[in-house]
Amino acid sequence: MTRSLLLLTKLFRAQQLGSIRLSSTIMNPLVAVCQMTSTADKEKNFEVVQNLVVQAKERKAQIAFFPEACDYLADNKKDIVAFSETLTGPTVSRYKALAVEHDIWLSLGGLHERQSEGSPKISNTHVLINNEGSIAAAYRKIHLFDMDNKDTGVRLMESDYVVPGGEIIPPVSTPVGKIGLSICYDMRFPELSLTLRKSGAEVLTFPSAFTYQTGAAHWEVLLRARAIETQCYVIAAAQTATHNKKRTSWGHAMIVDPWGAVIAQCAEKTGIAVAEIDLNLLETVRRNMPCENHRRTDLYPSMNAS
């Protein structure tokens, strides 16, 4: 890094830290990113979610973010589909009651949503529930993770049992800012994140069940890249450890600030990490590095669409 670039980085970080210290007397809203190891036992998974919600509320978080497949993670296609429920089913109803009981918003990333009775496929749906127990938004995953690697013998074909979503949901106004909804594999497609930023997102969330191998190589760098290029907070709840004989997840649930710094991260076990969402800091980063003003949408007009 050249001396001038190094100086610029130091100045930005100094300004950022100064903003955090100043705002500490005001108290910015807190969020909790959650990490767990789901199995096929839906009741035990709910108990884990319930315990993590209690922890998040005790630490004054206004929203708790949960990973993809927080409802369950089965090891075969038959059970994945058979265990699914509609968004009016008992599991989502219990999540709603939990939000009301603890006066907290819940981001439940990647629930297995039943299409219709007897349907061979489901939706992978990110549900955002407000503190009054209402569904504020539901996003159905548009990028499905399909891997059939003959060299390694790894076959994970989400499209075998999931219908891809067909809509980008506009950012949702919440107590911590405007949240753009995505799920796991979506993070590999910057077009989605940039579209959400253009639509007003201040926070991007990627609830995930990242495989161990891809997580070790790409998890942190992808999340930090999405934060840097959109100048948004990024919140990525994660599955961790061994779910069954076929599946192990990377973990490392984290929160990244708009400058690309990891400001909170979970240890390698079930638990939460908490951080402030400082929208004044976000505006400072965007003002001092006005990337949006420099986009050449005359040369890549596809990004004009929001």
State the burial class of residue 223 (Cβ atoms within 10 Å of its Cβ: 0-12, 13-18, 19+). Answer: buried
Q: What are phi and psi of 93, to 5 degrees?
A: -60, -40
The whole-angstrom separation of Cα 174 and Cα 279 is 12
- Judge whether 34 counts as a catalytic residue: no
The whole-angstrom separation of Cα 180 and Cα 236 is 12
Instruction: Pull the structure tokens for residue 47.
Output: 């108990």
The whole-angstrom separation of Cα 160 and Cα 124 is 12
Catalytic residue among 42, 141, 266, 276: 141
The SS3 of residue 260 is: coil
Instruction: Pull the structure tokens for residue 259.
Output: 């400058």
The whole-angstrom separation of Cα 242 and Cα 38 is 9
- Judge whether 68 counts as a catalytic residue: yes
Please choose, from the candidates 251, 230, 250, 254, the residue with its C-alpha nearest in 3D space to the C-alpha of residue 179. Answer: 230
The whole-angstrom separation of Cα 201 and Cα 17 is 23
Question: Could you tell me if 232 and 201 are in contact, meaning their C-beta atoms sit under 8 angstroms apart?
Answer: yes
Q: Give the position of tokens 């839906």.
A: 42
Catalytic residue among 42, 70, 178, 184: 184
The whole-angstrom separation of Cα 98 and Cα 88 is 15
Catalytic residue among 68, 113, 202, 276: 68
- Judge whether 184 counts as a catalytic residue: yes
Torsion of CA 280, 179, 95, 162, to 10 degrees: -150
- Active-site residue list: 68, 141, 184
